[in-house]
């Protein structure tokens, strides 16, 4: 019995010391003020780009699958995007109403879009020879767009990383994770000191060589370089699923649902990343989302209290496809009218549905109406809340009534002013931001 007790004490001590090395001191964690500022932005541009655009296949998993490895690893020798203009991309984001921009400085294929001293597999050894990350950072500063960097953990190209193919199999015995982590820290130091990113978007942390203690070490290392840099939740290792929710055991500042809209969450920050077409990297004739899908995705993420990082994959010549630019501009036009109901708001208190989503700020509750199913739209009861005024955000009174239990019925105009999302403002007799979530 005594032996068993001693064993348990030893085990718990081991577990605790292990857990300590794998967590981050609360003192270095990103402040709530910084994260609130991030969540106020609501809408950002994700850009997936690299030599793979020459083939039009996926950046994440076509090396060694759709494109033979030897061929893929030599594409950079032909990568010469002479029509790339950082300001044009940043203006495209700005005109779409986006507030931040995230570029894939390094994706799973290992190619670096900035002149790193720690790998020759970088843009300076392509015929193009210009610092793409640096030019984007500069253009973002000029146009007041927050500049962010995507940097994947796994690197199937680096001989020091044990896995070399998307199947995650056959670990390379010659690999050396200590050297790999050192290179990663050196490269991240270059990025943080040269480009001062607002946020770092990690990815590819789910393979077995990656340990939580590496992630904790890197998080702490980055926060020493810049205490305010925001870090997503894909830096830890050994975590459940590839896109975990936020929690005390998960490293990182915010959750990252991928290709789906996150659930309403008033406590933990989150950002949905989603493609404007189907592929992350450019694909010829890829299926473009309709304007309705784009706007309603943005409204539903805001309505769930999250951000939307919306992805484009530019072409190999350096241009974003015109049809994608047009779609983004249409989103920007909608935001010019309705942005008040998106930026700086909170989501809730209702969960977004296919018919409506709500956002709120001060005493205003914004009802995003997606569809006129019938003449009336009835919202669940808000106990003890009275509506002082109801009107369309772009003008026009809305008749409304409340029953004894507080449930709200809005009379919709026969023709909604916007077929994708018409916003109705409800002015309440109380602070809408303090209302509890209605489940
Ligand atoms: O950068 C984007 C993706 O490339 C990256 N994360 C976003 C932000 C990502 N890397 N891996 N994954 C996402 C998940 C990969 C799923 C896969 Fe598959 C399973 C790849 C191959 C098998 C799904 C099924 C896609 C192709 C087949």
Ligand 1 centre from 277 Cα, in Å? Answer: 15
Percent of the chain whose pLDDT exceeds 90 = 89
141: left (phi over 0), alpha (psi -120 to 50) or beta: alpha
pLDDT tens digits, 62-105: 999 999 999 999 999 999 999 999 999 999 999 999 999 999 99
Residue 262 pLDDT greater than 50, yes or no: yes
Region 227-237: mean pLDDT is 97
Residue 168 Cβ < 6 Å to ligand 1: no
Which domains are assigned to the chain?
17-341 (3.20.20.80), 346-434 (2.60.40.1180)
User: Which residues face 271 on adjacent strands?
Assistant: 307
- pTM of this prediction? 0.95
Distance, CA of 257 to CA of 194 (rounded, Å): 29
Closest ligand 1 atom number to CA of residue 152: 1
Least trusted range by pLDDT, from 21-30, 148-157, 289-298: 21-30
- Who wins on pLDDT, 242 or 354? 354
- Phi and psi, residue 136, nearest 5°: -70, -40
User: What's 380's DSSP letter?
Assistant: P
Residues 290, 204, 134, 82, CA torsion sign: negative
Interval between CA 313 and ligand 1 midpoint (Å) = 15
Percent of the chain with pLDDT over 70: 94
pLDDT given for residue 240 in this prediction: 64
The answer to whether the CB of 159 falls within 8 A of the CB of 110 is no
Torsion of CA 135, 139, 145, 151, to 10 degrees: 0
Contact 187, 112 (CB under 8 A): yes
- Residue 11: pLDDT band (50, 70, 90) is very low
| 166 pocket-lining for ligand 1 (C-beta < 6 Å) | yes
Position 7 pLDDT exceeds 50: no
Tell me the torsion sign for CA atoms 222, 224, 230, 235. Answer: positive
Among 4-18, 186-200, 293-307, 371-385, name the one with the lowest average pLDDT.
4-18
Residue 3 confidence class, pLDDT cut points 50, 70, 90? low
- 61 CA from centroid of ligand 1 (Å): 7
Burial category of 327 from C-beta neighbours within 10 Å (exposed 0-12, middle 13-18, buried 19 and up): buried
With a 6 Å cutoff on the Cβ, whether 109 touches ligand 1 is no
What's the chain's average pLDDT?
A: 94
User: Which atom belonging to ligand 1 lies closest to the Cα atom of 48?
Assistant: 1
| Confidence band of 244 (pLDDT split at 50, 70, 90) | confident
Atom of ligand 1 lying closest to residue 150 CA: 1
Residue 258 has pLDDT above 90, yes or no: yes
Q: Is 1's pLDDT higher than 90? A: no
Q: Judge whether 358 and 377 are in contact, CB under 8 Å.
A: no
Question: pLDDT value at position 23?
Answer: 81
What pLDDT, on the 0 to 100 scale, is given for residue 108? 98
* Nearest protein CA to atom 9 of ligand 1, as residue: 60
Q: Give 249's pLDDT tier (boundaries 50, 70, 90).
A: confident
Helix (H) or strand (E) holding 378: strand 376-379
At residue 386, the pLDDT reads 94
Question: Residue 223 to residues 41, 118, 130, 228: CA-CA distances in angstroms?
Answer: 22, 21, 28, 7
Q: How high is the pLDDT of residue 358?
A: 98
**Under DSSP, is residue 367 helix (H, G, I), strand (E, B) or coil?**
strand
Residue 8 or 236, more confident: 236
Looking at residues 156-182, what average pLDDT do you find? 97
Q: Which has the closest alpha carbon to 285: 277, 293, 294?
A: 277
Rounded to an integer, what distance in angstroms lies between the CA atom of residue 65 and that of residue 169?
14
Q: Is 273 in the pocket of ligand 1 (CB under 6 A)?
A: yes
| 3-class state of residue 10 by DSSP | helix
Mean pLDDT check: name the lowest of 145-159, 264-278, 399-413. 399-413
Residue with tokens 């921009």: 101
Rounded mean pLDDT of 327-341? 98
29 touches 245 (CB < 8 A): no
pLDDT of residue 6: 52
Phi and psi (nearest 5°) for 199? -145, 150
Question: Which of 61, 66, 255 best tests ligand 1's pocket when mutated (most atoms within 8 Å of CB)?
Answer: 61
Is the pLDDT at 10 greater than 80, yes or no?
no
Assess contact for 438 and 379: CB atoms under 8 A.
Answer: no
In the numeric block, which tokens belong to residue 193? Answer: 């000191």
Strand order in the sheet with 199-203: 230-231, 199-203, 146-152, 100-106, 43-47, 307-312, 271-275
Contacts of 219 (CB under 8 A, 6+ apart): 24, 28, 231, 235, 251, 252
| Alpha-carbon distances of 12 from 4, 239, 247, rounded to whole Å | 12, 20, 21
Ligand 1 within 6 A of 61 CB?
yes
pLDDT digits (tens, 9 = 90+) for 415-432: 999 999 999 999 999 999
Quick one: tokens of 92?
């495209």
Residue 406: predicted pLDDT? 82
Ligand 1 centroid–CA 411 distance in Å is 44
Q: Are strands 199-203 and 230-231 parallel, antiparallel or unpaired?
A: parallel
Atom 4 of ligand 1, nearest CA residue: 60
Q: What is the pLDDT of residue 439?
A: 80
- At 22 the pLDDT is 64
């Amino acid at each position: 019995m005594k032996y068993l007790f001693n064993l348990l004490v030893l085990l718990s001590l081991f577990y605790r010391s292990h857990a300590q090395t794998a967590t981050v001191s609360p003192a270095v964690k990103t402040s709530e003020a910084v994260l609130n500022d991030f969540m106020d932005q609501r809408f950002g541009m994700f850009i997936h780009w690299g030599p793979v655009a020459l083939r039009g296949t996926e950046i994440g998993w076509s090396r060694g699958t759709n494109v033979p490895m030897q061929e893929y690893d030599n594409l950079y020798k032909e990568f010469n995007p002479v029509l790339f203009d950082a300001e044009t991309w940043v203006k495209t984001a700005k005109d779409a109403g986006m507030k931040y921009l995230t570029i894939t400085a390094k994706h799973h294929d290992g190619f670096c879009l900035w002149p790193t001293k720690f790998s020759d597999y970088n843009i300076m050894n392509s015929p193009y020879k210009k610092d793409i990350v640096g030019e984007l950072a500069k253009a973002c500063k000029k146009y007041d767009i927050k500049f962010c960097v995507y940097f994947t953990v796994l690197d199937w190209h680096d001989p020091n990383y044990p896995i070399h193919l998307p199947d995650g199999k056959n670990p390379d015995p010659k690999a050396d994770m200590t050297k790999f982590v050192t290179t990663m820290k050196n490269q991240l130091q270059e990025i943080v000191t040269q480009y001062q990113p607002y946020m770092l978007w990690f990815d590819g942390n789910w393979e077995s060589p990656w340990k939580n203690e590496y992630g904790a070490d890197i998080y702490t290392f980055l926060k020493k370089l810049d205490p305010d840099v925001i870090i997503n939740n894909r830096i830890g290792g050994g975590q459940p699923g590839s896109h975990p929710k936020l929690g005390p055991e998960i490293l990182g500042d915010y959750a990252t649902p991928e290709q789906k809209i996150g659930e309403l969450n008033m406590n933990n920050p989150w950002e949905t990343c989603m493609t404007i077409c189907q592929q992350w990297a450019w694909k010829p004739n890829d299926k473009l989302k309709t304007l309705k899908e784009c706007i309603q995705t943005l409204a539903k993420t805001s309505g769930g209290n999250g951000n939307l990082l919306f992805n484009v994959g530019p072409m190999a010549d350096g241009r974003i496809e015109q049809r994608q630019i047009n779609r983004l501009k249409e989103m920007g036009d909608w935001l010019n009218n309705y942005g008040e109901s998106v930026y700086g708001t909170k989501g809730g208190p209702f969960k977004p549905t296919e018919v409506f989503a709500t956002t709120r700020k001060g005493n205003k509750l914004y009802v995003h109406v997606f569809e006129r199913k019938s003449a009336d739209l009835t919202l669940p009861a808000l106990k003890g809340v009275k509506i002082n005024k109801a009107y369309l955000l772009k003008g026009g009174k809305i008749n409304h009534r409340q029953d004894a239990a507080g449930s709200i019925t809005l009379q919709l105009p026969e023709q909604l002013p916007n077929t994708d999302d018409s916003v109705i403002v409800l002015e309440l007799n109380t602070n809408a931001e303090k209302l509890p979530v209605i489940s």
